[in-house]
Structure 1
Amino acid sequence: MASETRPFLKMNGLGNDFVVWDAREKPLRLGRDVIAALGDRDTGIGFDQMITVERSSLGVDAFMRIHNQNGGEVDACGNATRCIGRLLMEEAGKELVTIETGAGLLHAFDAEGPRTVTVDMGTPRLNWDEIPLAEEFADTRAIELQIGPIDDPILHTPAAVNMGNPHAIFWVDDVEAYELERIGPLLETHPIFPECANISLAHIFAEDQIRVKVWERGVGLTLACGTAACAVGVAAARDGKTGRKTTIHLPGGPIGIEWRESDGHVLMTGLTEVEFEGEVDLETLSWRKTASGDQTGEAGAAS
């Protein structure tokens, strides 16, 4: 039986990178082990998330299926939504597209600046059972959670927000002062988070300017996480630390967040990039670049 070769795009939103498959005409479902192998940065293509664009059962522009690097499926990814929104708008010649996700319908539209896309991420979920948390908290702006000695914890009392997936935000004076690669896995899988959680360290360093470092569930340290940026912006405004419009500074670059007062929706604006086009043999998982992306340069081979 001949092996199957499928084309893909490699994209990123501020360094949060994706392999994107178009499965609208020809369905594609890969096993968890295959996704993890392709996502491996040493032996595979390497990515934070794998995105499969499928036909929408609701009749909107597309359905976006999201798998983390470890092969687990998740409901939301803000940076991927911006990237897929850009592709669909360019393909259809439209300025607004609607994308069906596991977290609901999301709207992407052109923003000022080349390759810049805004996504309406909908309303945040703030109640303890919506996030979800394993026990009831009347106020999720600061839940009872700490890591380290009881009398001198390393981190404590995070805000909790769901932006299509669960987030915990710890307010700190310096996001680089903590070994997030060590404590992130412990917090991600803490029993208080029955669905695990994305863990953010956030520091407000100027008016409405927040520096953030993220440990993403099922991925690890990431250059950018769109839903984390949304969650931080909401948590900061909700606690009166900032206004409703903030700039979230991630290692991969800035994302603009607005928690709109009129309807409670969160708008996220940032850059997108096509890194390259490629194709992969789904039997051997060998792959190669076939064309360059937004940046000029020769398309080379990889295996």
Structure 2
Amino acid sequence: MPLPFVKMHAHGDDFIIVDRRGLDDPITADIARRLGNRHTGIGFNQLAVVLDCEDAAARIKFWNPNGTPLATCGSATRGVADRLMHETGAESIVLRTDRGLLTCVRESGQRVSVNMGEPSLDWAAVPLAEAMDTRTLPLNGSPAACSMGNPHCTFFVEDLAVIDVAALGPALERHPLFPAGTNVHFVQVLDRGHIRLRIWERGGGVPLGSGSCCCAAVVNGIRRGLLDATVQVQCDGGTVGVHWAGEGGVVLTGSVEPVMQGCAYL
């Protein structure tokens, strides 16, 4: 079965979009794993399946390259929004994800912003295995935790260059404190409006960037009193902007760029 796709990236966070509006959804965990393999498939950090929706321009389902589903992806949401806004000529669009209804807006240049919704700060919503203050977890390094529709754990470090993300990330992802696993961030605060971020992504490894991880890292930094409301987040693949006023939705803004289009065979 031929499966048309478009591949895009946002500050190095690469994803493929499969538009199935008006069609069936053939994606299963096995197919997502096959497509996500960077040697025998297409390769991606996330797969976004675009489906019909009654109360939004489209509904998006997300998959990790290991075949696990996820509720949200800031980069791929902005990529889908970019394509659909080009299609219709609109300057804004509302998309439905498992995170809820997300409003996306065309910004100057090739940038798109998305309101990722309000972060969940309670221990049960992250989720954590037991009740505690999510601003300071009882782990070495005293990280903070929150959820952006998926779980996040943020370590604040003095020198990011000495952190071996690939070595530390897997054990932290699967730590018993996180019954659903977690994304893991390592953050060096450069100043109150600028951080350097490296990521271990749940179900994906070390990406060049991640929209939801950027949002969560800024939220946790603001909660710890380290950051202002608007922050530039420098990832391995580029820089995005995050704004959070301490309540309400978190707004993620950055460029999205097409890479290729093609046809996979299932």
**TM-score, normalised with respect to structure 2:** 0.97
Residue ranges of structure 2 left out of the alignment (5+ in a row): none
Please tell me whether residue 82 in structure 1 is matched to residue 75 in structure 2.
Answer: no
Deviation at 1:103, TM superposition (A): 1.1
- Report SS of the residue matched to 1:221: coil
Match of residue 179 from structure 2? 194
Q: 2:191 touches 2:227 (CA, 8 Å); kept in 1?
A: no
Deviation at 1:93, TM superposition (A): 1.1
CA RMSD of aligned residues (A): 1.1
Deviation at 1:197, TM superposition (A): 0.4
Deviation at 1:68, TM superposition (A): 0.3
Match of residue 145 from structure 1? 139
Structure 2 CA distance for aligned equivalents of residues 255 and 184 of structure 1? 22
1:39 aligned partner, one-letter code = G
1:68 aligned partner, one-letter code = N
Structure 2 CA distance for aligned equivalents of residues 59 and 209 of structure 1? 37
Match of residue 298 from structure 1? none
The one-character-per-residue Cα deviations of 1:163-213 (angstroms, maximum 9, x if unpaired) are 111000000012221211111010001111111100000000123110000
Q: Which residues in structure 2 correspond to 1:198-217 (within 5 Å)?
A: 198-217=183-202
The one-character-per-residue Cα deviations of 1:5-26 (angstroms, maximum 9, x if unpaired) are 1211011111111111001111
Deviation at 1:280, TM superposition (A): 1.3
Greater RCO structure (CA 8 Å; 6+ sep): 2
Structure 2 CA distance for aligned equivalents of residues 76 and 175 of structure 1? 26
Count of matched residue positions in the alignment of Structure 1 and Structure 2:
266
Deviation at 1:140, TM superposition (A): 1.0
The one-character-per-residue Cα deviations of 1:79-134 (angstroms, maximum 9, x if unpaired) are 1111111111111111111110011111100112x210000011110010111100
Please tell me whether residue 230 in structure 1 is matched to residue 215 in structure 2.
Answer: yes
Structure 1 CA distance for aligned equivalents of residues 45 and 155 of structure 2? 22
Match of residue 97 from structure 1? 93
Q: Which residues in structure 2 correspond to 1:6-21 (within 5 Å)?
A: 6-21=3-18
- Structure of larger gyration radius: 1
Match of residue 173 from structure 1? 158
Structure 1 CA distance for aligned equivalents of residues 59 and 27 of structure 2? 16
Q: 1:248 touches 1:255 (CA, 8 Å); kept in 2?
A: yes
1:14 aligned partner, one-letter code = H
Match of residue 48 from structure 1? 45
Percent of matched pairs sharing the same residue? 37
Residue ranges of structure 1 left out of the alignment (5+ in a row): 147-155, 283-303
- Report SS of the residue matched to 1:265: coil
Q: 1:129 aligns with which of 124, 127, 134?
A: 124
Deviation at 1:143, TM superposition (A): 0.8
- Report SS of the residue matched to 2:126: coil
175-184 or 225-234: which moved more?
175-184
Deviation at 1:77, TM superposition (A): 0.5
2:112 aligned partner, one-letter code = V
Q: 1:260 touches 1:267 (CA, 8 Å); kept in 2?
A: no
Q: Which residues in structure 2 correspond to 1:30-41 (within 5 Å)?
A: 30-41=27-38
| 4+ residue segments displaced more than 2 Å | 28-31
Structure 2 CA distance for aligned equivalents of residues 241 and 207 of structure 1? 6
Deviation at 1:236, TM superposition (A): 1.1
1:75 aligned partner, one-letter code = A
Q: Which residues in structure 2 correspond to 1:273-288 (within 5 Å)?
A: 273-282=257-266
2:240 aligned partner, one-letter code = I
Q: Which residues in structure 2 correspond to 1:284-303 (within 5 Å)?
A: none
Deviation at 1:30, TM superposition (A): 2.2
Structure 1 CA distance for aligned equivalents of residues 213 and 66 of structure 2? 19
